[in-house]
Chain A
């Protein structure tokens, strides 16, 4: 198990405090900065490993950064505190983005990121809770994180704990039936402490979701399953912050975060071939330049 980076965890606390107490523009500025750091790390990690899922990593980054930077009640110095909010990345193939977010929040030293997918590294191609602090459940095969999140939310109720549970799902992932089993369970048990966020980048490995197996009308699907559905721009931190608030109705909330796969790197954006393609040296330079603007 990697151990907490005490300096990073302290910086994270200060950053969280700034984000929580600043005016909305300054909040967004802070989250944008964190997102840019994470995206640059993702490109470097994938360059180093010559492996990874760059398109989805870049589409989900703003969601992760908003959660860790502005929403989750977590303390990287105590990653197993019983009352911590639970966060689950169900689209586990976007591990690079999760690892970079966790490292930039102090869960472990950012120097570890260079070991991504190297032999015996804690940073496997898909997240492992027994090795990486901040990972709640091992994901990789799709359709696993959501039922586990439902269990976490039920446990909070049964154990009389006040934590909330958040799960990020890929849009293509919603083709797995287990998600809809979980959606029904969450609605049946009125799990208002549960929020599901769909990274709606409209692309899956082989093609557009709507060409592969249609997901639309997606918001209506969630509503008909008994959820409150909210649709936002998944790269707009202010919209995400607002949408990630619990529902006053007590219903579980589904946030459909409309995103662009490959967001932030012009030649990767919205291109199906960049699901898990690895950029060459020149492309890495261009990507890092674009992400530093």
Chain B
């Protein structure tokens, strides 16, 4: 496989909203406490089938995100397990204070599902991009922040979140991505998945960037560079042990996320590394810029969020280290 964009038309790529919806329906069949709450986003959250099967268990509050999250908290107060689903930018931007106060500070099991996150809405522009979400959500105490990287992880995330006794933010990818998760891989907070072995550089990625990190690792292997790829999955709570192992056992760390670099995965890893075992790092993401017009694929390429971009960062780190 050559480095570069993973072709969107490859047969093996998936829109994870399908896995989200299927798993939610399966859960709802098993547990009457499962309810879905949305903001007119029945279609975009892929909840049409859920509504057909469980019309009374889909609460649509209309276009009202503050109400959306508050209602979710009230449903949790009443003993239900609400999956509160809306496009990521509106859920996390419009209702930040409700997520903080009504879900997290209350300590209620409200599952916030940010649909179509990152720059999945491409041409619709920065109003519809959800790249600040990881920074915003990571700043909120007691809120778990998980970023599934493929359908299998999306299913596992939905199932885990339903059993978790606390608030969760889940990013549900829309941008089509290949499967990257080995069978029977665990899904646990604070636990990453190591996908390749390598002693030169560690690449830590989440969501859409995991498959790209794997492609980069394959290319770099042909150059004699060993890359350890970690699918971090949880930005909070983070797999601190894996980060510290990477800092000890490899010569540098590259992080990659479809998000701003101000407070997401890269910032979290840097905080651990800087305070415990400093190693050279490159943080890939979007650095304090609003995206120009373009498709999701175009924008990922534009910001260097590609296998090529990751490979360049790895080579830079190694050459920096040799100087």
Question: A-side interface residues toward B, CB under 8 Å?
Answer: 82, 86, 128-130, 136-141, 143-144, 146-156, 158-159, 161, 177-178, 181-182, 184-185, 188-189
Inter-chain CA distance A144–B95, complex, in Å, is: 11
User: Closest CB-CB distance, A95 to chain B, in whole Å?
Assistant: 14
Pick the contact of B106: A137, A159, A184, A185 (CB < 8 A). A137
Q: Which residues of B contact A82 (CB under 8 A)?
A: 79
With A86-B77, A151-B77 as known contacts, state yes or no: A146 contacts B62, CB within 8 Å: no
Mostly, the B contact residues are helix
Q: Which residues of A contact B56 (CB under 8 A)?
A: 158
Asked whether B97 is an interface residue with its Cβ less than 8 Å from the other chain, the reply is yes
Contacting pair B77 A146 (CB below 8 A): no
Ranked nearest first, the 3 interchain pairs of A and B with the lowest CB-CB distance are A151-B74, A155-B78, A147-B70
With A155-B78, A156-B78, A185-B71 as known contacts, state yes or no: A148 contacts B64, CB within 8 Å: no
Pick the contact of B66: A140, A147, A149, A151 (CB < 8 A). A147
Given contacts A147-B73, A154-B71, 12 further A-B contacts (CB under 8 A): A137-B73, A144-B98, A147-B69, A147-B98, A151-B73, A151-B74, A153-B74, A158-B80, A178-B70, A181-B61, A181-B62, A182-B71
Contacting pair B105 A151 (CB below 8 A): no
Q: Which residues of B contact A177 (CB under 8 A)?
A: 66
Q: Which residues of A contact B57 (CB under 8 A)?
A: 158
Scoring B residues 45 to 81 as 1 if CB is less than 8 Å from chain A, else 0, what string do you get?
0000000000011010110101111111111111110
Contacting pair B105 A148 (CB below 8 A): no
Most chain A CB within a 10 A radius of its CB, from B56, B66, B70, B76:
B70
Inter-chain CA distance A245–B206, complex, in Å, is: 53
Q: Which residues of B contact A137 (CB under 8 A)?
A: 73-74, 77, 102, 106
Contacting pair A155 B80 (CB below 8 A): yes
Inter-chain CA distance A158–B82, complex, in Å, is: 12
Asked whether B107 is an interface residue with its Cβ less than 8 Å from the other chain, the reply is yes
With A130-B106, A185-B61 as known contacts, state yes or no: A141 contacts B77, CB within 8 Å: no
Inter-chain CA distance A153–B97, complex, in Å, is: 22
Contacting pair B71 A151 (CB below 8 A): yes
Most chain B CB within a 10 A radius of its CB, from A155, A161, A189:
A155
Question: B-side interface residues toward A, CB under 8 Å?
Answer: 33, 35, 56-57, 59, 61-62, 64, 66-80, 82, 97-98, 101-102, 105-107
With A82-B79, A177-B66, A178-B66 as known contacts, state yes or no: A152 contacts B106, CB within 8 Å: no
Inter-chain CA distance A158–B74, complex, in Å, is: 12
Q: Which residues of A contact B80 (CB under 8 A)?
A: 155, 158-159
Q: Which residues of B contact A147 (CB under 8 A)?
A: 66-71, 73-74, 98, 102
Pick the contact of B105: A138, A149, A152, A184 (CB < 8 A). A138
Q: Which residues of B contact A129 (CB under 8 A)?
A: 106-107
Inter-chain CA distance A147–B106, complex, in Å, is: 14
A-B contact pairs, 6 of them (CB 8 A): A137-B73, A141-B101, A147-B70, A147-B73, A150-B71, A152-B74
Inter-chain CA distance A276–B31, complex, in Å, is: 47
Q: Which residues of A contact B35 (CB under 8 A)?
A: 158
User: Closest CB-CB distance, B288 to chain A, in whole Å?
Assistant: 27
Contacting pair A181 B67 (CB below 8 A): yes
Contacting pair B78 A182 (CB below 8 A): no
Contacting pair A154 B79 (CB below 8 A): no
User: Closest CB-CB distance, B272 to chain A, in whole Å?
Assistant: 28
Q: Which residues of A contact B73 (CB under 8 A)?
A: 137, 147-148, 151
Q: Which residues of A contact B75 (CB under 8 A)?
A: 151-152, 154-155, 158
Contacting pair B70 A144 (CB below 8 A): yes
Q: Which residue of A lies closest to B70 (CB)?
A: A147
Inter-chain CA distance A161–B74, complex, in Å, is: 14
Q: Which residues of A contact B66 (CB under 8 A)?
A: 143, 147, 177-178, 181
Q: Which residue of B lies closest to A152 (CB)?
A: B74
